[in-house]
Amino acid sequence: MNLNVIILAAGNGKRMHSTLPKVMHKVGGKTMLEHVLISAKKLKPTSINVVLNPKIESLKESFKSYDIHWHTQLEQKGTADAVKTVLPSLKKDEKVLILYADTPLIDSNLLETFINYMPESDVKVLTVELENPFGYGRIIREQAEEEIVAKIIEEVEADHIQKNIKECNTGIIFSEVKKLSNLISEVNNDNSKKEFYLTDIVSIANAKEMMVVPLLSKETNSLLGVNDKCQLEETEQIFQNNKRKKFLQQGVTMLDSKSIFFKGDVEIGIDVEIEANVIFEGNVKIGNNVQVKANTIIKDSLIDDNSEIKPYSIVEDSSIGKNCNIGPFARIRPNCNLEENVGIGNFVEVKASNIKKNTKANHLTYLGDSDIGENVNVGAGVITCNYDGVDKHKTIIKDNVFIGSDSQLIAPIIVEEGVTIAAGSTITENSEKDSLLIARSRQQEKKNWKKIR
C-alpha cells in the first residue's frame, strides 16, 4: 500500500497568545509538529505533506532533516480547503492519512491499527470518547447500523442534544486520494463560520452510499489536541507521566518521579538511581549503576557506567566516562570529554576540554579549552586563562602534573609531563619535563609597620 500522510499545520493558534506558531510550542522538549512527524515517519509513507499558512512558512528551516513536501494554504478557509491544497500532487489510486500538528502524543501503533481496520470501507474516521467533549465535533452514528458514521457535527453547529454525545471526532481520516478528492469537491461553507469543514465529507459520503466507518479508540490521552496553554500543560504532564512510568517499569529508581522531567530522547541503563528535581534534556544516555543526585540538569550528554552526578550540577553536550564523580555544584559546559575515574568537584567549571583518566580537579577551578593528561592533580582556585580578549587559546597539561592551588596558566601554554607548579604561581612559559615551577613574587616583611591614616 502506498500511503501519503497529510499533516495540517496552518492554524494561527490565536488562543496560544504567543508570537510563536502554535505547532512550534514544545512538549517533552520537541515541537508538537516534530512529534507528529516522528509518528508519521514510523508508518513508512510514500510522502509526508505538511500544510502551512504564509505567516509561518519560516518554520521550514527547523525541519530540514525531514523529507517533507511543504504546501501553503493561502487563506484559512477551513480544514477541507487545507487538504485540498495537497491532493492534486498525490496519485489518485494511493491512500491518504490526515493528521494534525497540534496532536503531539499521537501514537504510530494506534495509526497502524486504524489504517488496517475494516479495509473494505471507503472512509475511516478515528474517534474517541471524552468525558468533557466541549470543542470537539460529535460523531453521529447511523441508527440502523452502529458501525456506520452518518455525519460529524461541529461544536458550534451542534444542538443541545448533540452536545451531550461523548464520542468525538479526532479529525484523523483515512481514505483513497481519488475518493477523498471527489468528496471534498462537494464540500460547501454553508455554516456559521463560513469555512469548508473536512468533517462534511462524512454526510456527503453517506448520501453517495459509501461506507464510512469509525474506529473508537480507548487511548484518550494520545489523541488530545492542543489549542491553548492550558491544554499544552495538560499534554506535557501526560507526556512526562508516560516517560516516568516507562523508566520505572524498566527498573530505574526514582525517589520522587513527579519532580523528574524528560525533554528529549533519553536512554537509561540498569540499576540507575535518580533523586529529586532532575531534568534530562535533548539526547541523553545514562549507563548502568549511575547515580544522579538532586537538582541536576543533564543535556545532550553521555554518562557512562558507575559514575555519580552529585547535587546541583549541570552537564551539557559532553561525555562523562566510567567511574567519574561530578559535583556538587559543578558545571560541565559543551564539548567536554572526561575519561574514566575523573573527579570534578564543587564549584568547578570545565569547558571544551579533554580530561584523561584518574585526573582530579576538586575545588573552585576553571578549566577551559584544555587538554589534560592522566593522573593530574589540579588544586583549588586554579584557572586556565584561555581568552585574551580577542581569541581563545589552548592549554595542554601532560600526564602526572601537580598544579598547586591558586595558580593561573596563561594560554597558549604547554605544561610538560611530571611538572609541579607551586601554589600561587602565574605560569606564562612552557616548561621542561619533571621540573618545579615557582612563579610568584618574593614575600617581603616590613617590621613595625604603621598605617598612615
- Read out DSSP for 257-272? GGGEEEEEEEEE-SS-
Of 101, 73, 106, 67, whose CA–CA distance to 87 is shortest?
A: 73
Report, in this order, helix, strand and coil percent for the chain, each rounded to 5: 20, 30, 45
Of 210, 204, 212, whose CA–CA distance to 118 is shortest?
A: 212
Q: 32-41 and 108-116 are packed helices; what angle lies between their axes, rounded to 10 degrees?
A: 50
Write out the catalytic residue numbers. Answer: 363
d(CA 203, CA 440): 89
* DSSP strands (E only) in 287-382: 291-292, 297-299, 302-303, 308-309, 314-316, 318-320, 325-326, 331-332, 336-338, 343-346, 349-351, 354-355, 360-363, 366-368, 370-372, 377-378
8 A C-beta contact, residue 114 and residue 219: no
User: In degrees rounded to 5, what are phi and psi of residue 302?
Assistant: -110, 130
d(CA 221, CA 1): 29
8 A C-beta contact, residue 57 and residue 74: no
Which sign does the torsion angle of CA 360, 363, 369, 370 carry? negative
d(CA 98, CA 293): 44
Strand pairing of 30-31 and 308-309?
Answer: unpaired
Cell of 306: 558507575
Give the distance from CA 157 to its chain's centroid: 37
d(CA 58, CA 139): 36
Which sign does the torsion angle of CA 386, 388, 391, 394 carry? negative
d(CA 92, CA 179): 8
Those residues whose C-beta lies under 8 Å from the C-beta of residue 51, and which sit 6 or more positions away, are 6, 7, 8, 9, 10, 71, 72, 73, 82, 83, 85, 86
